[in-house]
Structure 1
Amino acid sequence: MVQPVTTDVGRVGSPVYGDAVRGDRVWIDVAVAVLAAVVGAGLALDRTAVWAPGDAVVVTLVLLAALLAIVPAALQAVTSVRGRRVDATRELYDDLLSGALWAVVDATGTDPRDLALAGYRLERPWWGPARLARVHRVRARRRPVASGVRWAPGKGVVGECVATGAVVARDVTALDAAGERQGLSPEEFRLVRGKYAVVVAVPLVDDTGQTSAVTGCLALDGPAGSLERLTTPEVLGVLEATARALRRLTGGAPATVSLAVPAGADRLRTALERQASPAERVAAVEQAR
């Protein structure tokens, strides 16, 4: 079956955002070019006797010139490795979230063109407040594109989910009609008003330490009137099983205590098998507990 979904990669700072890799490389290339120009100018001035630096300075310039000669090759190698990792992580997210979306379709009978599923990671940059970076999204082509809002704890349904560490499900059409901004600024509210209907967010929890910590969330959005069927134990179980599998497949350690298998784990595993997902991803649904 051809899956009628398309994918969106995350924003800057997410592990699957290829443009971040390319952006870093551009700035490094510019810095290397500027430094090379300075070193070349210094050596040229020394040769023409316009400038008479000390021996230590000349030696430093020569060493820098030699180093800069190998930097482009080294950068290319590093960029290639990072690019492969980005592609592999993007594929992992795409495969698992696509399987989860189809598992929700199997559990509810909802038209897949009416659904979208996105993963968000909580980031705490040193230069500003905590924020949520979207790492991946699968959606039908007719679903709304990204709103452009920079989500954060306490902002919108996904922000409330991360701030409280609890499952949050809302039919936001009523909230929009009432003018409830849900922590959004007036401009942000204008961007999202009428864009979404039902949103169900499940927290991603790291429970490997002494205390549990919310690290992000999975957000499922669907059509108006679907709140009841998108909050059944089976659907919530699919989202929870997906969250655990993501944690395990992206390097997270198993939980410190044995957890019950989510009600939707079987549906997720079946959906992954039907779309021919790699065996390790299917196995992760059973192992991520």
Structure 2
Amino acid sequence: MQMNFLLVKEGLDPTITEKEVKAMPISIFGFQALWSPFFIVAILFLITIYFLITVKWRKDFKYSEPLKRKEATFFMIAMILLYFIKGSPLDLMGHIMFSFHMVQMALLYLVVPPLLILAIPNWLWESFLSLPVIKQVFKFFTRPIISVVLFNLMFSFYHIPLVFDTIKLSQTLHGTYTFVLFIFAIFMWWPLINKLPGHHQLHGLKKVGYLFADGVLLTPACALIIFANNPVYATYSDASIWLESMKLCVPVGTLSGLNLSGPELFSSLPVLEDQQLGGVVMKIIQEIVYGIVLAKIFFQWFKKEQQDADKITEAALLEKAELHPIQSK
């Protein structure tokens, strides 16, 4: 009866089978839920501020350099990704299917932070980090062991079922935890990416060990999700709780005008399989990102070794010429 009511309300044929109903388009949630126009404004504001500071206002800083094309490119990629993650239909799907949520998590915490670190010029980082309170906080939380452990603890704590469902039902808690976890993701990436003198930096094999530790620490949370025998998140398996959590991305007026029985209307994938897929996707994206970083680390190491070898050879030839000036002629 409820299903037929929904089909009639949406102008569909009540004789459509349940399997066909599961392909219901997410467009029924409206433009605002799909494309987040307010978030577009926020992204445009951030882009404007970035270019004003790094181009027009940079002379107001004691030490500054012209904005590099590479830095501007990294920033624009980060902003486009940020909108794709939190403003596009991906965000809506992340509230319907857990696998999409994990795609969001992987991109938001493993891809965007290093791009932002590289996008902000060093002189701007130095100006920001010279502020008294910021300097002390940043120096403490970017210590390699502290940064990698705290980020993974916060990520794992977030995915404890009771914590996850509680956060997903509160706009304030969800926004706050997402922002704080993003800051800790920046802390986690900082020792690997930054090149500021006087700040925590890792070199050579220490970078490899750091990435390995990061991957190991993230594994338990993913394993809990992948190997669970039952759906563990009520916000994806319980229809009434799922509807409540949808208020985070769908206007209440729009949601109240729909008669939805649950997330199964929008996906043919069973809840448990969707949950397991989410854990797998998170690990795959992590391995891809870390693989790219490792490749860059080995390339830099090889390049440095070649440069050092050339310097050693040049120094040896110079020394030989000084010891045997006649023979060298």
Instruction: Report TM bin, short chain.
Output: under 0.3
- Rg comparison, structure with higher value: 2
**Looking at both structures, which has the greater relative contact order when contacts are Cα pairs under 8 Å and sequence separation is at least 6?**
2
Higher helix content, 1 or 2: 2
Q: By percentage of residues, which structure has more strand? A: 1
